[in-house]
Amino acid sequence: MIRIGYPSGYWGDDQAAPSRMLESAADLDYLAMDYLAEITMAILKRQQERDETLGYARDFPALVEKLLEDLVDQDVTLLANAGGVNPESCKDAVMEVAANADADVSVAAVAGDEILERIPGLREQGIEFDNMDSGRSFETVADDLVAANAYLGSFPIAEALDEGADIVVTGRCIDAALAMGPMIHEFGWDPDQYDNLASGLVAGHLLECGAQVTGGVFLDDWEDVDFMEMGYPIVEMDADGEFVVTKPDGTGGLVNEATVKEQLVYEIKDPNAYHTPDVTADFTTPQLNQVGENRVRVTGCEGTAPPESLKVSALYRDGYKAQLLLTYSWPDALNKAERADDVIRGRLDRADVALSEIRTEYVGYNGCHDGISPRPEDPNEIVLRIAVKADGKEAIDSFGKTAIPIAIAGPPNVTPLVSGRPDPEPVLSFWPCTIPRDAVEPTLTVESTGVN
């Protein structure tokens, strides 16, 4: 049995969670951490364009510095997709931290996921990269592409561990791979042991959003969850693919069948066929059983062969957006906000501001559930939210200049929710597409500090 902790669900998650987990959880074998959202890849790509040694999560080496002593003492292997678009440089930075601390560790970088520069050549070979959701042709975004990475699977990570890595940094891989790599390495699961791989995937899926499986965003009985000292999840995986989801003793949060069920359904489409590079898992097969306090056993996962293509995470420049937020108070808060919206839209029309999209919401009424939530009878305050999108920055500037005077020359009892004119924010939109598996070659480099 191996124990894998997952103290980070996204870049920006609780910085103290990894060390708290090392302190509070006995006998951990692996710590896995997710850093990469789709949008992160584009931000990191821009950083790398300015400085070729950047393009990874820059706070990761500092985190390694903080954790290193405990990792070495407790013999815990660390895995993170903190490599972003530049896993090699991330590895170098981690090596430097380890060498400075006189720690004898091996660091691995898994890469090969980046395909941005290769796309023109691949298209000449007949790979389309058309939008897999909308069917739109790649031609329409070809010139605006800013990042493109194939989602790698778990086997390159397992290989890094086979080579003796103590710390593994990767670029874009499926989030669950950071947990599955150690299982494949430890138990020697073969690429065609689909039921075991499906178990690993389900475990990884439950772990990959950190505290979301241990009571975070839990909708059933959320009042009973201690969010203060949130316990992050641990999976205890057996060689045969049966596992327990739990959290360190003495921490907050909650693990029961209901918290695990909620995370099992999180961000899935057809549960009968959850496609990944390693296996197609059937999420209608796992059986859940509470086997102790904050312990849920998962058994019976089944899987079949993975698809022949890999998903690609691509982003393209898609203009700018901005939002105006004005609070209106009682009496007649909602009527005032609606009147202000009318006037602002009228002025925008008159000034012929070139917006491609405009949306109005009344926070306190329909900001979240537009068309579903009932109109409140007499709310004390309503926030008018007008969000706009345009191809150019100039139109966004005009929107601000045209809309803002409403604060004085409009309905009364108004105070801005945020100060100043709305800032144009560049929009990088997601372009989901696929690439044939054999067009992507994962790479692995392992290096040791050789101290001692």
Partner 1 sequence: MLELREIAHARSGDKGNIANIGVIAKEPEYYPIIEEHVTAARVKDHFGDLCEGEVERYPMQNIHAFNFVLHEALGGGGVGSLYLDNQGKTYSGAILRMELDVSIDTDD
Closest contact distance (angstroms) between CB of 35 and partner 1 is 18
By CB under 8 A, is residue 270 in contact with partner 1? yes
By CB under 8 A, is residue 232 in contact with partner 1? no
Judge contact between 312 and 173, C-beta under 8 A. no
Q: Which residues of 358-373 are buried (b: 16+ CB within 10 A; e: fewer)?
A: bebbbbbbbeeeeeee
Number of residues that bind partner 1 (CB under 8 A): 52
Q: What are phi and psi of 297, to 5 degrees?
A: -95, 135
Closest contact distance (angstroms) between CB of 328 and partner 1 is 17
d(CA 169, CA 174): 13
Closest contact distance (angstroms) between CB of 441 and partner 1 is 27
C-alpha to C-alpha distances, 40 to 34, 404, 429, nearest whole angstrom: 11, 32, 12
Three-class DSSP labels, 165-183: CCEEEECCECCCHHHHHHH
By CB under 8 A, is residue 427 in contact with partner 1? yes
Closest contact distance (angstroms) between CB of 219 and partner 1 is 5
Radius of gyration of the chain (CA): 25
d(CA 152, CA 383): 43
By CB under 8 A, is residue 276 in contact with partner 1? no
By CB under 8 A, is residue 450 in contact with partner 1? no
Name the token pair of 23: 């302190």
Stretch that binds partner 1, among 54-62, 96-104, 217-225, 434-442 (CB under 8 A): 217-225
Closest contact distance (angstroms) between CB of 79 and partner 1 is 24
Stretch that binds partner 1, among 106-114, 181-189, 234-242, 382-390 (CB under 8 A): 382-390
Judge contact between 48 and 86, C-beta under 8 A. yes
By CB under 8 A, is residue 217 in contact with partner 1? yes
Closest contact distance (angstroms) between CB of 300 and partner 1 is 8
By CB under 8 A, is residue 321 in contact with partner 1? yes
Taking CB under 8 A as the rule, which mask of x and - marks residues 32-61 in contact with partner 1? ------xx----------------------
By CB under 8 A, is residue 133 in contact with partner 1? yes
By CB under 8 A, is residue 372 in contact with partner 1? yes
What is the separation, in whole angstroms, between the first and last Cα of the chain? 31
d(CA 46, CA 285): 42
Residue ranges binding partner 1 (CB under 8 A): 38-39, 133-134, 217, 219-220, 257-258, 261-272, 283-288, 300, 318, 321, 323, 357-359, 361, 363, 367-373, 385, 387-389, 427-430, 432
